């Protein structure tokens, strides 16, 4: 599905929808150029999960941030990862297997072989100063209901 966000509030709304629709465990793979809004979407998701979004920053030098909560949020940034091995060395397998958690990965295209077969893929494109286009694909049966839920959500009457 394609979701056009007119502004950051619309991105927050997407984060809130994802927080309720994603399975646990969940893996979300984010793609998009620098400044497209990957970290901003993680902030939106964090806020919806009851995590202080001010805690969420680009994991520039830290490759992984952990935000505890009823749904723990594991936030990876693959931009500076040398290779897949470095990702596994961070303990990625255990994070991805945490059955209460959501794992979200910026620059996921850098570690294609590490991504679980079942996941949500989100491509973000800058379409204006405050506009962003989110192209969302659900991979695997566990994510089918996410796709359906998102479609119903984006078709909802707008206030």
- Residues forming contacts to ligand ADP in the complex (CB under 6 A) are 5, 7-8, 10-11, 32, 34-40, 58, 106, 130, 132
Residue from the set 58, 84, 118, 131 that interacts with Mg ion by CB under 5 A: 58
19 vs 30 by CB, closer to Mg ion? 30
| Maximum distance among all Cα pairs of the chain, rounded to whole angstroms | 47
Distance CA 53, CA 45 (A): 8
Annotate each residue in 75-114 with x if it binds Mg ion (CB under 5 A) or - if it does not, as one string. -------------------------------x--------
Distance CA 32, CA 40 (A): 12
Q: 116: which DSSP letter? A: -
Taking the complex as a whole, the smallest distance from the CB of residue 151 to ligand ADP amounts, in Å, to 20
64 vs 118 by CB, closer to ligand ADP? 64
Q: Are 141 and 118 in contact (CB under 8 A)?
A: yes
Taking the complex as a whole, the smallest distance from the CB of residue 29 to ligand ADP amounts, in Å, to 13
46 vs 142 by CB, closer to ligand ADP? 46
Tokens linked to 23: 């399975």
| Residue pointed to by tokens 């209460």 | 100
- CA–chain centroid gap for 132, Å, is 15
């Amino acid at each position: 599905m394609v979701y056009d966000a007119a502004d950051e509030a619309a991105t927050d709304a997407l984060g809130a929808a994802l927080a309720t629709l994603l399975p646990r465990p969940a893996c979300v793979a984010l793609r998009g150029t620098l400044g497209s809004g990957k970290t901003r979407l993680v902030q939106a998701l964090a806020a919806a999960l009851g995590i202080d979004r001010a805690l969420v920053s680009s994991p520039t030098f830290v490759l992984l941030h952990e935000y505890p909560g009823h749904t723990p949020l594991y936030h990876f940034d693959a931009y500076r990862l040398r290779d897949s091995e470095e990702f596994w060395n961070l303990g990625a397998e255990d994070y991805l297997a945490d059955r209460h958690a959501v794992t979200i990965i910026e620059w996921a295209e850098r570690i294609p072989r590490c991504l679980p077969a079942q996941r949500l893929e989100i491509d973000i494109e800058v379409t204006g100063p405050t506009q962003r286009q989110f192209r969302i694909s659900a991979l695997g049966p566990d994510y089918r209901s996410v796709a359906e839920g998102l479609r119903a959500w984006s078709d909802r009457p707008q206030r």
